[in-house]
Amino acid sequence: MEFGPHLLLAVLEGAVTAAVLSLTAAGLSLVFGVMRVVNIAHGEFFMLGAVLAWVLVQVFPGHPAVGFVVALIVAPLIVGSIAAVADLTILKRINYDPERTIVATIGLLYIIQQVTLMTYGPDARAVEAPFNQRLALPWVDWGEGGLQVYYPWGLSTTTYKIAVIGAAGALLCGIWAMMTRTRLGLVMRATQADREMAQAFGIPVERVYAMVFGLGAGLAALAAVLIVPIQQAHYLMGGDPLLLSFIVVIIGGLGSLPGTVLAAVFIGLSDGVISVFFSPTLAKIFATLLVGLVLVFRPQGLFGERPA
């Protein structure tokens, strides 16, 4: 393949990564924004979503779409409930102390990961996509006799990948609408702005926290269900989404949803492009260094406003 078509392919793959990443990172950002805690177990909730999707598809055999739709609804609910319970039994008791929360969620990370290993096992397992038509993509080039449209070999995507991008976009709009237009969003934003004041106004802060923590984990699980027909479900798959979400949330400005989405698109696309042309390990080295340096020199994020 020539450079142009190759780049288009990289961008398309990057767009899928960006779509899934923005959902996962939105979950992490929501938890950080409202609760001011960092959830290190976020990647494990993602993994749990993918594994549960595989389990649910086995429970509902028949057309792949049936099991998949069930998984799309049920897996995030289960994962969200697990997270809410973890919030009420662990984080609430340590009073959301930022440092102790990190230590506790590291513990939670290992518990979830290792319990999955003991039950689901060490294998990577695939889930069939509900629909998966190959779409060959045209490329325009100057040839003999002027402008030519042709279909380069290998330049293709699938209807499912396009659907993932669309679904992620719709879901993000949904979250945005919920945060800005609904009473629930208002309650969450009030809690974010001032916990004590919210409590004084009768907002059940503890319930809001449990719900936000559940919602954040549920978003990660949802993203995982979407990606599992493309990747495979594996008990160690939580590491990369955690790292990438971190990168996105920190670069986008901690706790800012639009910044998070913008950064997810940026990171998703550049990850796709860099991984196609360079070594993925090198790409990750640059990404981790970038997070570290951004936190050191521009803690408000690359896209965030400098506080007055």
Partner 1 sequence: MTDTSRILALHLGLIAVLFALNFLLPAYHHGNLSRIMVLASYAIGYNILFGYTGLLSLGHALFFAAGMYGLALPMQHAGLGAVPAFVLGVFAGAIVSAGLALLALRTTGVAFMIVTLMFAQAGFLTILYFGDYTRGDEGFIIQQAQRVIAGIDLTDETNRYMFAWALFSFCLLVCLALIRLPLGRTLIAIRENEERVRMLGYDTGLHKLTAMVLSGTLSAAAGAAYALLFGYAGATFASVQYSIFPLLWVLLGGAGTVIGPFIGALFMFYLIDLSSGITSAYMLIAGVVLVLLTLFAPQGLTGEVRRRFWSGLP
Give the binding range for partner 1 (CB under 8 A) out of 48-56, 155-163, 193-201, 275-283. 275-283
Return d(Cα 77, Cα 3) in angstroms, integer. Answer: 43
Spell out a b/e string for 179-200, using b for 16 or more CB atoms within 10 Å of the CB, else e: beeeeeeebbebbbeebeebee
Q: Which residues pair with 158 in a beta bridge?
A: 134
Return d(Cα 257, Cα 240) in angstroms, integer. Answer: 21
Give the binding range for partner 1 (CB under 8 A) out of 49-57, 76-84, 115-123, 193-201. 115-123
Whichever of 65 and 293 has its CB closer to partner 1, that residue is 293
CB of 267 to partner 1, least distance (A): 14
Q: x-or-dash pattern for partner 1, window 82-101, by CB under 8 A?
A: --------x--xx---xxx-
- By CB under 8 A, tell whether 194 contacts partner 1: no
Whichever of 58 and 288 has its CB closer to partner 1, that residue is 288
Which of the residues 216 through 245 are near partner 1 (CB under 8 A)?
A: 243
Q: What is the dihedral of CA 231, 128, 71, 212, to 10 degrees?
A: 20
Residues 6+ apart with CB under 8 A from 108: 40, 41, 44, 86, 90
CB of 92 to partner 1, least distance (A): 10
Residue owning tokens 């549920």: 218
Which tokens go with 47? 């993994």
Among 109, 127, 223, 261, which residue sits at the site for partner 1 (rule: CB under 8 A)?
A: 109
CA distances from 217 to 186, 227, 289 (A): 20, 15, 26
Among 147, 149, 170, 296, which residue sits at the site for partner 1 (rule: CB under 8 A)?
A: 296
CB of 98 to partner 1, least distance (A): 5
Return d(Cα 184, Cα 100) in angstroms, integer. Answer: 28
- By CB under 8 A, tell whether 256 contacts partner 1: no
Which of the residues 34 through 93 are near partner 1 (CB under 8 A)?
A: 38, 90, 93
Give the binding range for partner 1 (CB under 8 A) out of 109-117, 153-161, 205-213, 215-223. 109-117
Q: Where does the chain show beta strands of DSSP type E?
A: 134-136, 139-143, 146-150, 156-158
Please tell me the chain's helix, strand, coil percentages from 3-state DSSP, rounded to the nearest 5. Answer: 70, 5, 25
Among 58, 148, 182, 288, which residue sits at the site for partner 1 (rule: CB under 8 A)?
A: 288
Among 7, 165, 295, 302, which residue sits at the site for partner 1 (rule: CB under 8 A)?
A: 295
DSSP string computed for 279-307: -HHHHHHHHHHHHHHHHHH-TT-SSSPPP
Give the binding range for partner 1 (CB under 8 A) out of 53-61, 105-113, 153-161, 183-191. 105-113
Residues of the shown chain interacting with partner 1 in the complex, contacts defined by CB under 8 A: 38, 90, 93-94, 98-100, 102-104, 106-111, 113-115, 117-118, 243, 246, 250, 279, 281-282, 284-285, 288-289, 291-293, 295-297, 299
